[in-house]
């Protein structure tokens, strides 16, 4: 559901918009020991590989679908067993709908089970969301269609103030417009920064749920020249193994 | 020495009757597409299909052809080729009975079956609407600790599991490498039906290193050689996905007419006709 990966990538002051997202993701993963990235997730994958690169190789990154960056040997179940044991610190989830309480919907809208609009399904979300401490919600499209007041179907539930076993949960929400963090006690998102080229008004207009924000919302920092060189060098090469078409379309300068 | 499970694709697929509970792996683990086309050629129907843990073009084909009554899966998608068009349409029409799940729940349900136990507890899932709609999933109190609700899932013991692998030996031992979910499926199922790219002469259990990635013939009911048996999907170690064929499928399957046309074309493939 990360979508639109082959579209023309607009440039923002040296770094393009995808490179900005990759850089933001790397920042969100700082300090993690083991980050896992699910299928069809080139930008989270590139962000995780950048975080690993910046960690000097301390961080483990498992990219599903990769041969080089995937050391699981026990079949599809291993990722999930790993998560339940606390061996995975961060993971990424998307959502056709994400609401203000951080519930996510990957099933569809317009009724269930006979849905007018049906998406693929829950995948591992219902499970991983409760077990992985730093779940990053990543959805490029920032619109009232996606960021809704209340999801039509809860694929995976945000923190509800109940006393169930829940070492995991939402850490941040990243879109092509802004970065939010999630306050588990208040059960609300907080706008942390707005990406260059976008305004607070635009964020407010396109967000269907209420959220907290500081008086002055900072701009999301662009990757500096040194980080950009890493993205366009080793990260481009590394993510290209799993997502060759993505790598070719996003990075303007060949490695 | 027990009889070798070696047979033909036709005889292998004939074992699966209408209405069977059939389990299949995800695209990355080896999908028996030639055998699936042989099933469709025969006009199989009323299947209860369980995907471990997600379905792709195989599932979409079976749905489009009207072969599925009940579908249990964590998702159906054609990955980078887009949404699964016949699945989306069947859901919109209410044409199939849906048992939506989450990946680890399906893995766990097969693991319960391989242990011969009736159910298995699993973390997570609490608060998801999946529980509301799955009347066969329950939440119980952890009998060993206070204030700890936990989800329990019934074992899934399939009538048949069907998948495609790189190679097997003539004794019926099947090499699966690190695709361990295939081992779980074989352990869980009443009958394991396997197609392979190649049947080799040497006993795969003879070499300790190779044997670690082998399903012993004990679990294998029927085995048939099917070269390019995963086409148009990839067979890791043998060939890549056929992007042209999958793009053509997605485009055609947007409409019922287009789907019927490509299904007709795909069922005309020589190896299916011969089967």
* CA dist., res. A33 & res. A49, Å (int): 13
pLDDT for position A10 = 53
pLDDT in tens, B97-141: 999 999 999 999 999 999 999 999 999 999 999 999 999 999 999
Cβ neighbourhood burial of B269 (10 Å; 0-12, 13-18, 19+): middle
pLDDT for position B94 = 97
Q: Which of B53, B74, B123 sits opposite A131 (nearest CB)?
A: B123
Q: Dump the DSSP string for B133-190.
A: H-TT-EEEE-TTSSS-EEEEEE----SEEEEEEEEEETTS-EE-TT-HHHHHHHHH-S
- Sheet with A90-93, strands from edge to edge, namely A60-63, A34-37, A90-93, A134-138, A170-174, A178-183, A188-194
pLDDT for position A194 = 98
Cα A188 from chain centre: 18
Whether B192 and B215 have beta carbons less than 8 Å apart is answered as yes
Contacts of B83 (CB under 8 A, 6+ apart): A119, A120, B77
Asked if the Cβ–Cβ distance from B123 to A84 is below 8 Å, we say yes
Asked if the Cβ–Cβ distance from B104 to A77 is below 8 Å, we say yes
Domain boundaries, chain A: 11-250
* CA dist., res. A63 & res. A90, Å (int): 12
CA distance readout (Å), A107 to A36, B54, B124, B175, B205: 22, 13, 18, 35, 43
CA distance readout (Å), A40 to A92, A136, B12, B82, B96: 11, 15, 34, 11, 26
Asked if the Cβ–Cβ distance from B54 to A123 is below 8 Å, we say yes
A119 to chain B: which residues are within 8 Å by CB?
Answer: 83
Among the four given CATH numbers 3.30.450.40, 3.20.20.140, 3.40.50.300, 3.40.1080.10, the one describing domain A11-250: 3.40.1080.10
Asked if the Cβ–Cβ distance from B79 to A165 is below 8 Å, we say no
- Sheet with B119-122, strands from edge to edge, namely B119-122, B149-154, B138-141
Q: Which of B80, B100, B184 sits opposite A40 (nearest CB)?
A: B80
pLDDT for position B145 = 96
A245 to chain B: which residues are within 8 Å by CB?
Answer: 80
pLDDT for position A6 = 42
Is A165 within 8 Å of chain B by CB? yes
Q: What residue ranges define each of the domains in chain B, with the CATH number in brackets?
A: 9-105+157-274 (3.40.1080.10), 119-154 (no CATH)
Asked if the Cβ–Cβ distance from A126 to B128 is below 8 Å, we say yes
pLDDT for position A7 = 44
* CA dist., res. A72 & res. A149, Å (int): 38
* CA dist., res. A26 & res. A228, Å (int): 12
B100 to chain A: which residues are within 8 Å by CB?
Answer: 107, 113, 121-122
pLDDT in tens, A58-105: 999 998 877 777 888 889 999 999 999 999 999 999 999 999 999 999
Count of other CB atoms within 10 angstroms of residue A244: 11
* CA dist., res. A122 & res. A139, Å (int): 15
pLDDT for position B167 = 97
* CA dist., res. A173 & res. B52, Å (int): 29
Q: Dump the DSSP string for A157-180.
A: PPP-S--S--S--EEEEE-SSEEE
Sign for the CA dihedral angle at A63, A66, A69, A75 comes to: positive
* CA dist., res. B58 & res. B35, Å (int): 10
B93 to chain A: which residues are within 8 Å by CB?
Answer: 114
Interface size A-B, in CB pairs within 8 Å, comes to: 144
Sites in chain B below the pLDDT cut of 70:
1-2, 269-275
Q: Which of B74, B92, B130 sits opposite A114 (nearest CB)?
A: B92
Sites in chain A below the pLDDT cut of 50:
1-8, 254-255
Whether B93 and A115 have beta carbons less than 8 Å apart is answered as no
Q: Which of B76, B128, B148 sits opposite A154 (nearest CB)?
A: B128
pLDDT for position B103 = 97
């Amino acid at each position: 559901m990360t979508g639109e990966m082959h579209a023309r990538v607009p440039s923002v002051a040296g770094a393009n918009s995808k490179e900005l997202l990759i850089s933001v993701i790397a920042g969100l993963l700082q300090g993690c020991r083991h980050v896992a990235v699910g299928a069809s997730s080139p930008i989270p994958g590139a962000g995780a590989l950048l975080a690993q690169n910046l960690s000097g190789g301390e961080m483990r990154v498992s990219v599903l679908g990769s041969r080089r960056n995937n050391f699981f040997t026990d079949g599809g179940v291993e990722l999930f067993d790993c998560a339940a044991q606390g061996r995975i610190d961060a993971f990424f989830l998307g959502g056709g709908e994400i609401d203000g309480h951080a519930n996510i919907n990957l099933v569809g809208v317009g009724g269930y089970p006979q849905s007018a609009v049906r998406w693929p399904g829950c995948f591992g979300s219902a499970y991983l969301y409760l077990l992985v401490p730093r779940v990053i919600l990543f959805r490029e499209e920032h619109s009232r269609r996606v960021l809704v007041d209340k999801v039509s179907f809860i694929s995976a539930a945000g923190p509800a103030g109940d006393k169930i076993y829940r070492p995991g949960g939402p850490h941040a929400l990243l879109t092509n417009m802004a970065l939010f963090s999630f306050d588990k006690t208040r059960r609300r998102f907080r706008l942390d920064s707005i990406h260059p080229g976008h305004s607070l008004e635009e964020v407010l207009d396109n967000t269907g749920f209420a959220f907290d924000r500081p008086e002055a919302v900072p701009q999301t920092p662009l990757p500096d020249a040194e980080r950009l060189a890493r993205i366009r060098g080793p990260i481009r090469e590394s993510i290209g193994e799993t997502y060759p078409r993505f790598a070719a379309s996003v990075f303007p300068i060949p490695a | 020495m027990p009889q070798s499970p070696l047979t033909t694709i036709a005889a292998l697929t004939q074992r699966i009757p209408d209405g069977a509970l059939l389990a299949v792996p995800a695209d990355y683990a080896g999908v028996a597409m030639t055998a699936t086309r042989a099933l469709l050629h025969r006009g199989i129907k009323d299947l209860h299909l369980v995907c471990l843990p997600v379905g792709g073009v195989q599932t979409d084909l079976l749905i489009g052809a009207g072969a599925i009554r009940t579908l249990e899966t964590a998702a159906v998608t054609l990955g980078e080729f887009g949404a699964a068009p016949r699945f989306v349409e069947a859901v919109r029409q209410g044409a199939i009975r849906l048992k939506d799940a989450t990946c680890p729940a399906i893995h766990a349900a097969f693991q319960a079956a391989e242990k011969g136990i009736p159910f298995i507890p699993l973390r997570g899932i609490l608060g998801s609407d999946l529980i509301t709609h799955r009347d066969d999933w329950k939440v119980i109190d952890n009998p060993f600790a206070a204030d700890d609700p936990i989800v329990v899932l019934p074992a899934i013991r399939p009538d048949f599991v069907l998948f495609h692998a790189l190679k097997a030996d003539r004794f019926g031992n099947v090499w699966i490498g690190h695709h361990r979910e295939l081992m779980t499926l074989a352990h869980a199922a009443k009958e394991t039906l396997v197609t392979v790219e190649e049947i080799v002469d040497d006993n795969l259990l003879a070499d300790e290193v190779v044997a670690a990635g082998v399903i012993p013939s004990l679990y294998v009911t029927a085995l048939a050689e099917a070269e390019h048996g995963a086409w148009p999907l990839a067979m890791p170690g043998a060939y890549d996905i056929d992007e042209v064929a999958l793009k053509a499928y997605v485009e055609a399957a947007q409409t019922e007419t287009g789907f019927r046309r490509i299904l007709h074309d795909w069922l005309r493939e020589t190896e299916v006709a011969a089967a």
